[in-house]
Structures are given as C-alpha cells and as structure tokens.
A and B are shown apart, each in its own frame.
Chain A
Amino acid sequence: MWIYLVKRILLATIIVITAVTLLYSMILAVPGDPVTVLLGPRSTPEMRDTLRAQMGLDKPFYYQIGHFLLNVLQGDLGMDVFSNRPVSTIVFEQLPHTIILILASIGWAILIGVPLGCYSAIHRNSFVDKLTGVFSVGTIAIPSFVIALYALLIFAVELQWLPAIGAGTGGTLVDRIRHLILPALAVGLGWVGYLSRLVRASMLEVLGENHIRTARAFGLPEHVVIFRYALKIAILPTIALLGVGIGYLLSAAVFAEIVFARPGIGKLIYESVMTRNYPIVMGSVLITTIFFVASTMISDIINAGLDPRIRENL
C-alpha cells in the first residue's frame, strides 16, 4: 500500500509544479508588460522599474519560475501591491468560507443522492426511479448560478425566508447556518442528480456481474448482497468522480459567493479580476488548484484502501 501512496503523492506534486509553471508562464506570455497592467497607465517609469525589480521580472524566464516555485514551496506567494499584505495571508483568510460552503453542498448532495441512486438501481423502472431520472437530468443540466439566482429571487427577495447577503460572520451558529442554506442548496442541487445517476449506473452494472449471481446462488440475504457485495464496488467510481468533482464545485462556489455576496475565495478572485490585481488572482487560483489536486489524491487513496486490486498493482 505505501508504494501506491508514495507514487500518488509524487504524481500530485508533479501536477502542482506543472500547474505553477503553466500559470506563471501565462503571466509572462502576456503581450503587455504585467507591471504597467498592474500600476495602470498613469504610473511613472521609475515606479514601474522599482516594482519590476522588486518582483524580479527583469531576470531570465527560468530564473523567475524557479524563484517563484521556491517561494511557493515556502508558502510565500508574493506581496499584494495594493494592501501590501502577503498574498498567502489574504487568500487563507477567505479559504475557510469556501471550504465550508463546498463541504455543506457536497454533504447534503451525498446524503440524498447516494441513497436515491441505490434505491432506483434496486427498484429499476419504478416510479421513484423514473422521477429521479428526469429530476437529475434536469438539475445536472441547468447552470448552478441560474439555480442560485432563482433561489435568491424566490426565497430571499420575494418570500424573505432566508437572508440574501453575507455569511452571517460574527452571528450565532444558527445565523451562520441560515446564511449557508441557500448557497449550499444552489451549489449542491446539481450534485444530487449527478450522484444519484452515477450510483444508479454503477450499481446496475455491478449487480449484473457474475460474482453477484454467485452470492445470490449461495442464498445470501439480499441486504448482504446489496450493501456488502455490490455497493462496495459500485461506490468506487463515485468516490473517484467526487475527487474530480471538487473542481466543478469550486466553480459553482464562485457564483454562489457572488450571487449571495458571501465572503470566500471566489469573491476574492472576482474582485481582484475587476482591479486586474493578478498576483492575488494567481495566488488564489494556485491555492484552489492545490486544494483540487489534494482532493483528487485523497479520493484515489480512499479508493485504493477499498479496492485491493488498485492497492497492490505496482
């Protein structure tokens, strides 16, 4: 098992390093001079030169990448020119809100989606199965920010059941949860359908395999066949896709944070884009990418834990 672990961590670091290099080379490939972009046209040449030297932009390409990589490894993502606070602290202040939102959305999506998928796989073509089928295809397709806007319009603005703005920071726990419901609903709704379709499809495939027929031929109780023999295999592709799904969740979270004016990394990036503050943008994109690569790695490791075949093939 540990060989698999080492290999997987190695792969994750390589992806992160390539991501960093890609991001950084994107900055340098920009037609205009990043510094003028940053300081705006009215800035004097001296200001631009000092900033350029400060950011080491005058050095050769690979040196800058190497320098940037070294800083990243030490957790230093450079300084924010506007508030001259380190980028990493700014980004890490906002990250927890986004993570809470993502965990809440994926949480309720799993709690409802997975059992729904199992049920519709076991009771194929039943009323529930057909209903979830249509419901999931619909919710997967409709963009999450449209759902967010409609939810905001109906529940917050018209019916005013739930707060429309902010994350209720500083308020009581109940208050914070009330602020969390609508965004989590908007981000997670598509995932209920996605997970139920996924679990249903892989359950149906596994239930058709020979070893399940063997289990039934030995008269094992149906619940043992379903949960211990079938679900344990059927859940593997779902876990793998959950790891990858974090990327889509992060995108949906950006919209939810903007629509519901919640603090978080999405809102941070959005505002920095408006002010063309690319260090912050790059820093947050980098951190979200690392967060994404970590989550795919974790889901692969969980899969290896559950499936001996993955664990042992070198």
Chain B
Amino acid sequence: MGKDRNSVLDIRNLSIEFATTRGRLKALRDVTLSVPPEKIVGLVGESGCGKSTVIFSIIHLLAENAVVTGGEIEFEGRDILKMSPNELRAIRGDRISMVFQDPMTSLNPVLSIDTQMTDIQYRANIDMEEKRNRAVEMLARVGIPDPRQRLANYPHHFSGGMRQRISIAMALLANPALLLADEPTTALDATLEAQIIHRLRQLQDMVHCSILFVSHHLGLIAELCDNVVVMYAGEVVEEGDVRDIFHRAAHPYTQALLECDPARIKEKTRHLPTIPGDIPDLVNLPAGCIFSNRCPQVFSKCRTTAPQRFEVEPGHFARCHLVTEGDVP
C-alpha cells in the first residue's frame, strides 16, 4: 500500500490508548482511512466507537491522558503526529479547520463575533477592514441575515442554528484543504439540520475542500457523503463508496446497523430489530474479532484470531473473516 498520491489525508494503522484508573483503554486500534481531495467522507458509528478520537487526533487536540501508540497521519506530505507544536499551530485553522458538536459552548461568550472572526485571520497580512469584509461575506454565504450589523453582536444573541452557521463560516474563512465536522447538526432540529447540510454541500463545491463528517445519523451520511467509513468499538470495520456501504454492505455490523435504522424499514412493524449485547470492555480486550460477542454470523475463527483489512472490491474494504474466507453474503 504505497503512498496514496491522490488523497488529502491518509491515516495508517493509527492506535491510541487512554491512561485511566482502570488501566490502558485502547480507544483506537489500527485505524486506516483516507480522504480523497474535494470529497465528503462520512465517519459513522455509535457512541463509544472512537470517531471523535480520530477527528481530534488529526488536529492533535487530544486529552492529556491520551497516548499515541502507533501509526501515522499523513497530511500534505507530512506526518501530523511528528509535527512540533509550532508546526501544528501553523496548519490548524489554515490548512485544517474544524466545526464542533455543541453550538452553545463552542464560541467565546464574552468576545464579539467581530473580534473572534478577525482574530482567526491573524495570518493574512491584510488590514482590519479587509478582514471584516471577508468575515461579513462568509457570514452572508452561510445564511446569516444582515451580517454587517450582526458582526458586533455576542454569541448569546444568536440561536443554536445561527451559532453553528457562524462556526462553519469561521472554519471556511481560511479556505482550508480539509474541514473536520464533529456531528455539527446533532444538537439541532431536523428542519434546521437539513438547511445547514444543504448549505454545507454548496460551500464545499465553492471552497473545493474535502470534509471528514462524523455522525451517527445514517440518513444524513447517505445524502451528504461520497465515501463512508464505519467504525465499531475503536476499529474501522468497513470503508468504501457510499453505494458500496448502503447497498452492498460486507461487514455484519454494517448490515445490522442498516437493518436497525427505522427509517429504512419499509413496511410498518411493531418489533424493531436491535443488536443485542454491549460494546466489550476496551481495557481488557477479548481475543479475536471485536464484534464476535454480538455478531449474528459468528463462527469459531472469529473468537480466536482478529480479521485483517481485506479489499472486497476496488475501493471497498472490510475487516471480517466471512469476507476473506467465505463468499460475500
């Protein structure tokens, strides 16, 4: 697997552990994924699967007790994990920017939007007035009504939806190569979510940046993303084009996840499918495949040896013994 010339971001065999009182929690194990240029990659998985840890490791803003135990994150030819704090600071907000989940707490409450949006343009050597104009223009693009006047307002003058639009405007201000979005619309209502996703798609075509979009909402991923990466309990179980995943899912977990989504079940049913059991304890990991204790098609090999990443079809990878041995169901 040589250097993938045509991808903006390449994560290879990334493993991260958190030092906790109970012992070393293996949050990420051998995670491999890539983000092609100008594409939107959906990172999907349920709570506790480590999707936010992946995002925060890219921008290297991990918690103090996090320890990177292996792998590399190649971005524009350099490994982020080996960058010095100053080098990291240089690309943050310039080449990579981020939108966070909770709009109510991600903006500074005592500084005006004007201050916050001009501060982040400290790298561009243009005068303050020009910085304000660029801010106003971007605010208009994300759908903030009369942005020139609203610039002087403080975050608490805006609703949740408006604040998230401001965060997106701030993130795209520096024309980044990669935008990281950590469940940006989970805290919003459905109609608002649709507006913001629609707006994000338009802005992406204009700014030509690629987006790594984290979510647990399958419908959203299907509508917005070009590629999808499915994670479970700290491992990438499947990765591929959006149609590969939604129509030809190879991994039993992906299939079960799709089955459980009530929106996909056509005829009305009184009994909703579920995935019985819980995520295994990530401090002392079970042998074999991580999904073995909940997998409907588990067999002897799953409980002994961990499956390896296998290319089911061009660009479509899965980590399951069924795929490597038996035919794809």
- A adjacent to B, CB under 8 Å: yes
Secondary structure of the A contact surface, majority rule: helix
Q: Say whether B109 faces chain A, with CB atoms less than 8 Å apart.
A: yes
B111 touches A218 (CB 8 A): no
Q: Say whether B18 faces chain A, with CB atoms less than 8 Å apart.
A: no
Q: Say whether B206 faces chain A, with CB atoms less than 8 Å apart.
A: no
Q: Which of A218, A307, A308 contacts B120 (CB 8 A)?
A: A218
Known pairs A213-B100, A224-B119; A218 contacts B92 (CB<8 A) = yes
B89 touches A221 (CB 8 A): yes
B110 touches A232 (CB 8 A): yes
A217 touches B154 (CB 8 A): no
Give the docked Cα–Cα distance between A229 and B109 (Å): 9
Give the docked Cα–Cα distance between A308 and B152 (Å): 12
Q: Say whether A215 faces chain B, with CB atoms less than 8 Å apart.
A: yes
Q: Say whether B106 faces chain A, with CB atoms less than 8 Å apart.
A: yes
B90 touches A219 (CB 8 A): yes
Q: Say whether A7 faces chain B, with CB atoms less than 8 Å apart.
A: no
Interface residues of A in 213-244 (CB under 8 A from B): 213-222, 224, 228-229, 232-233
**B contact residues around A59 at 8 Å (CB):** none
Q: Say whether B156 faces chain A, with CB atoms less than 8 Å apart.
A: yes
Q: Say whether B186 faces chain A, with CB atoms less than 8 Å apart.
A: no
Give the docked Cα–Cα distance between A142 and B123 (Å): 50
* Residue on B nearest A224 in the bound complex, by CB: B119
**A contact residues around B105 at 8 Å (CB):** 209-211
A218 touches B97 (CB 8 A): yes
B47 shortest CB reach to chain A, Å: 18
Interface code B104-142, partner A: CB below 8 Å = 1, 0 otherwise? 011111110000000110110000000000000000000
Secondary structure of the B contact surface, majority rule: loop
Give the docked Cα–Cα distance between A65 and B188 (Å): 58
Q: Which of B91, B100, B120 contacts A210 (CB 8 A)?
A: B100
Interface residues of A in 154-212 (CB under 8 A from B): 209-212
**A contact residues around B111 at 8 Å (CB):** 228-229, 232
**B contact residues around A212 at 8 Å (CB):** 108
Q: Say whether B98 faces chain A, with CB atoms less than 8 Å apart.
A: yes
Interface residues of B in 74-106 (CB under 8 A from A): 88-94, 97-98, 100, 102, 105-106
Q: Say whether B59 faces chain A, with CB atoms less than 8 Å apart.
A: yes
A219 shortest CB reach to chain B, Å: 4
Q: Say whether A306 faces chain B, with CB atoms less than 8 Å apart.
A: yes
B91 touches A211 (CB 8 A): no
Interface code A284-310, partner B: CB below 8 Å = 1, 0 otherwise? 000000000000000000000011110
B12 shortest CB reach to chain A, Å: 23
* Residue on B nearest A209 in the bound complex, by CB: B105
A308 touches B110 (CB 8 A): yes
Additional 4 contacts, C-beta under 8 A, given A214-B98, A233-B110, A306-B110? A215-B119, A229-B108, A229-B111, A308-B154
Partner-B contacts on A (CB < 8 A): 209-222, 224, 228-229, 232-233, 306-309, 312
A-B contact pairs, 27 of them (CB 8 A): A209-B105, A210-B102, A210-B105, A211-B105, A211-B109, A213-B61, A213-B106, A214-B106, A217-B61, A217-B97, A217-B98, A218-B170, A219-B88, A219-B91, A219-B123, A220-B119, A220-B120, A222-B89, A224-B122, A228-B111, A229-B111, A232-B111, A307-B110, A308-B109, A308-B154, A308-B156, A309-B154
Q: Which 7 A-B pairs have the closest CB atoms?
A: A218-B93, A219-B92, A219-B93, A210-B105, A218-B120, A211-B108, A219-B89
